[in-house]
Amino acid sequence: MRKHVMWSVGIMAALSLALAACGGGGGGGGGSDVDPTACGGAGLGCISGTITDSSGNAITTGATVTTAGVATATANAQGWYAGSSVAEGDQVICFSATGYATVCRTVSITEATNTPLSATLLPTRGAAVAIPTIENGGVGSDTTTAAQVTFTAGDVCDADGTATTGTINCYFTPVDVTDATVLAAAPLSFQATATDGSVGSMISDAMMELTCENASGDEVNICSSQTADVRIPVYGTCTVGTLAGWRYNTTTGTWSEYDTGNFTSVCGTDETDSYYGGTIDHMTWINGDRLVDDTCLTGFVYTAGTTATSVPVTVKCWGTNANWQNEVQVGSSGRFCIPVPAGYNYACNVSDSTSTLAAADNITGTAPATVVAFPLAACPADDCTDIGGFVFASPILTTTLTWGLNPADLDSHTASNAGVHVWFSDKDIDILEESVSKGSLTSAPYIALDTDDTTSYGPEITTVMPSVTDGKYCFGVHKYSGTGDISQVSTDINGAAKAATVTVQGNGLAQTFTVPSSNPSSYEYWRVYTVEFEGGVVKSGTFTAYNDLVETAETDCNW
């Protein structure tokens, strides 16, 4: 985030460990040419994205990503993360950070493909509520809302099932379900299964995440066959009477009804004295909701004309007259089928979470009353209502830089012969009469670098969109700081031998370059390639690989 080197090559880093079969817009592709080991081996994929708070700020407290309970990645200081070796198929990916509520998303992983996956986390409510002698039971209450948990003796156990003793600290994260930005930091699927086996979407007016830890900071939970009482603050419409209580399962990524009985409402004036109270047998995300029948919406995601998107994207629908949300990933055909509550108003959109770009105006309407059971045997199903298509601009080129422990800080640079220079700088410097920055995907130069990794490994990803100005562009790498020269073979995060590597994907390109191993003059600049863009695609026959080390970077991209 500081670089002041004259370098005319650029890389547009978006975010992924190995950008496999993402292909590109404008008739791109290259998926069939992708090395299946790109994400760690056969049957494995990659994930990458950002972890931010509800204001869009990067979470810098060591946010972590886990898959099936196994650590997958850690976000850097800019909130970016990337992980590989994620098993293909449906996976529950969870995002956690100290002081924030954990949130999980269910995502379909494809072999050798980077799936963009970002998360927003909500902070826990103030300081922890301490219950000093949990073996005797106790009550923990939030000071600013009606949130509360009540334990009796023997209710709480450590992870090994033994009764917890001493102090426990409990954290409440009530959710204002009427605020779409806040709701987006809750689990993004509201589909749930009732105790009688019926499936539908929850309509939520009260939601909360509840977590407790022992004195050592280890998570504790309600003991087997025990229960606790909770109160969930109501931000939406307080429904007088009784309603079901629901819990989120971070292992399966689904909601299920508690079998401990209904919740009862107490309706006051706001979230400080309105709550749904009930009995729970597990601490997690908790809802006091109504389950309604689903119907089905279907549509298509295009990159241009009638070409299906080749980049993993997500369709999300949410309520405009009730509090609910659901999301699905778009299949390889570009077709999606998504559950929405039958008869309720909806708004839908599609986004690529590498850039959190809205792909088109929202599609809105009222869902039909026809009930359609999920999951579907095939998409589209005959009963799905077609809502039309989204036009989504996919990248035409992505370039991913990874390296080993040393040198610690390598920098990606992309430049053009027309004065564009994309790199990660914290200063507004002018080079070739253009402002130096990490670029943008939604405005000129339509090239962007995702992050500046200053503490080894990467990845740094540069993305080029179809609106990029025609011309010649070059990409290169500069050693900014750290032990050894740019050609050094060091170790990766798992201790294996690793040299700096650049992977290029899109418009039929699928190439990987490893920095030259011989560098007798200790040069610090690595020229990788040049390419020409014309009409939103890679101009045929213009990709030229250099893959050499040079003493001084040129400033006009005239290699």
Tens of pLDDT along 120-146?
999 987 778 999 999 999 999 998 999
pLDDT for res 490: 92
Q: 487 vs 352, which has greater pLDDT? A: 487
Q: 2 vs 165, which has greater pLDDT? A: 165
| Spatial CA neighbour of 367 closest among 326, 309, 328 | 326
| Spatial CA neighbour of 60 closest among 91, 98, 16, 86 | 98
pLDDT for res 125: 77
The band of 37, judged by pLDDT with boundaries at 50, 70 and 90, is low
| pLDDT tens for each residue of 438-471 | 888 778 898 988 888 888 888 888 989 888 999 9
355-361, long-range: CB < 8 A, 24+ apart = 355/14, 355/116, 355/441, 355/442, 355/448, 355/463, 356/50, 356/118, 357/393, 357/441, 357/442, 359/301, 359/313, 359/390, 359/391, 359/392, 359/393, 360/390, 360/391, 360/392
| Spatial CA neighbour of 466 closest among 360, 359, 394 | 394
Strand boundaries in 382-446, DSSP class E = 385-391, 397-402, 409-416, 421-422, 430-431, 434-435, 439-440
| pLDDT tens for each residue of 211-249 | 999 999 999 999 999 999 999 999 989 989 999 999 999
pLDDT for res 25: 26
The DSSP letter of residue 393 is -
Question: Mean pLDDT throughout 534-546?
Answer: 93
pLDDT for res 430: 38
How far CA 353 is from CA of 8, 329, 344, 430, in Å, comes to 29, 11, 26, 30
pLDDT for res 227: 96
pLDDT tops 50 at residue 32: no
| pLDDT tens for each residue of 389-445 | 887 777 889 899 989 999 999 999 999 988 888 988 643 333 333 444 688 877 889
* Beta-sheet pairing, 254-257 with 168-175: unpaired
Torsion from C-alpha of 270, 208, 49, 319, nearest 10 degrees: -60
Q: 508 vs 12, which has greater pLDDT? A: 508
* Beta-sheet pairing, 294-304 with 385-391: parallel
Average pLDDT, rounded, for the chain: 84
The first and second tokens of residue 550, run together, are: 């040079």
The residues that bridge with 341 in the sheet, in sequence order, are 294
pLDDT for res 438: 80
pLDDT tops 70 at residue 530: yes
The band of 359, judged by pLDDT with boundaries at 50, 70 and 90, is low
233: burial class by Cβ within 10 Å (0-12, 13-18, 19+)? buried
Conformation bin of residue 188: beta by default, left when phi > 0, alpha when psi is -120 to 50: alpha
* H or E, element range at 74: strand 70-74
86 and 20 Cβ atoms separated by less than 8 Å: no
pLDDT for res 456: 86
Give the rounded percent of residues in the chain with a pLDDT score beyond 90.
Answer: 52
pLDDT for res 35: 60
Question: 3-state DSSP call for residue 136?
Answer: helix
The span from the CA of 10 to the CA of 528, in Å, is: 10
Strand boundaries in 110-227, DSSP class E = 114-116, 119-121, 129-131, 138-141, 148-151, 156-157, 168-175, 191-193, 199-214, 219-222
531 and 544 Cβ atoms separated by less than 8 Å: yes
Helices (H), 353-474: none
pLDDT for res 452: 83
Helices (H), 184-244: none
Give the rounded percent of residues in the chain with a pLDDT score beyond 70.
Answer: 87
The answer for residues whose C-beta is within 8 angstroms of residue 493's C-beta and 6 or more apart is: 456, 457
Q: What is the largest CA-CA distance in the chain?
A: 79
pLDDT tops 60 at residue 210: yes
The band of 310, judged by pLDDT with boundaries at 50, 70 and 90, is low
| pLDDT tens for each residue of 168-204 | 999 999 999 998 888 888 998 999 999 999 999 999 9
pLDDT tops 80 at residue 29: no
23-32, 426-435, 485-494 — most confident range: 485-494
The DSSP letter of residue 300 is E
pLDDT tops 60 at residue 106: yes
| pLDDT tens for each residue of 86-100 | 999 989 999 999 999
pLDDT for res 36: 59
